[in-house]
Amino acid sequence: MSGWTDFTLALLAFLASHMIPARPRVRAALVGAVGLRPYILGYSLLSVLILIWLVMAAAQAPYVQVLPPHAALRWAPALLMALACPLIVAGMSVRNPLSFGGLGQGDFDPGHPGILALSRHPLLLALMLWSLAHLLANGDLAHVILFGGFAAFSVAGMALIDRRKRRMMGAEWDRLAGNTARLSLRGAAALLRPHALIGGAALYALLFALHGWVIGLSPVPL
């Protein structure tokens, strides 16, 4: 299988794995069949596996330079992922009726939105940071398509989810979303909470340790 064929198949698999379960009827059927938590965990695992495949396929695709390389930009992933990791932990630790549901206990309190004051879509925001960081560090055609597509997917996804949720929830969306934002720095303090800092540091260390083994490149560009 050629490098471009494998990359194309991995990219199509990634798009399908996100577009099909996003349909309300499909998601409702899956959640009804296995339960919310098993669905979130299973879907997260599948997404990670497909993502690893896609990243590895991009690394094997023929090299076509698009952006000129710069040594300083190679540090972008190591630095920006230090922000994305606590964002992922904070996003997964709350119940989120306005975007991808987290694993938090209890109902969402619109008076104390936590990380949702920073963004109603913390996981998409983390994906955008990851995408931009790796786009800066990798300027060949396959990686520009990969990470540029992820960044665009993240931004468009925020708008699409807001539109769909507002249509589905009506006045309830206005009540729940009143103290949240698509992106606002006023909620950044949620990233400093102990569970976000500790969990984010642990996730960062895990990704750091696995990066060379899974991707084949050290995350430290020395």
42 and 152 share a domain? no
Do 82 and 18 belong together in one domain? no
Clarify whether residues 54 and 23 are in a common domain.
Answer: yes
138 plus 178 within the same structural domain? yes
Same structural domain, 196 and 172: yes
The three-class DSSP label of residue 9 is: helix
Largest CA distance in the chain: 53
Same domain, 142 and 174: yes
pLDDT for residue 101: 66
- The number of distinct structural domains making up the chain is 2
33 with 85, same domain: the answer is no
Residues 92, 155: Cα–Cα separation, whole Å: 19
Q: What is residue 139's predicted lDDT score, i.e. its pLDDT?
A: 85
Rounded to an integer, what distance in angstroms lies between the CA atom of residue 210 and that of residue 52?
A: 11
d(CA 159, CA 84) in angstroms, rounded, equals 20
Whether residue 199 is found in the same domain as residue 97: yes
Do 170 and 189 fall within a single domain?
A: yes
Kindly write down the DSSP assignment for every residue of 61-127, as one continuous string.
Answer: SPP-B-S---GGGGGHHHHHHHHHHHHHHHHHTS--TTSS----SS---TTS-GGGGT-S-HHHHHH
Q: What is the pLDDT of residue 1?
A: 54
Token pair recorded at residue 155: 């931004």
Half-sphere exposure of 187 (CA within 13 A, CB side): 21
74 in the same domain as 25: no
For residue 31, give the nearest of 94, 100, 84, 90 by alpha carbon. Answer: 100
Residues 206 and 127 in one domain: yes
Domain boundary among 14, 46, 62: 62
Domain final position from 62, 87, 112: 62
Rounded to 5 degrees, what are φ and ψ at 139? -105, 15
Q: Which residues of the chain have pLDDT under 50?
A: none
pLDDT value, residue 193 = 92
157 and 218 fall within a common domain: yes
Q: Which of 11, 46, 62 is the last residue of a domain?
A: 62
What domain range is 180 assigned to? 65-222
Percent share of the chain, pLDDT over 90: 41
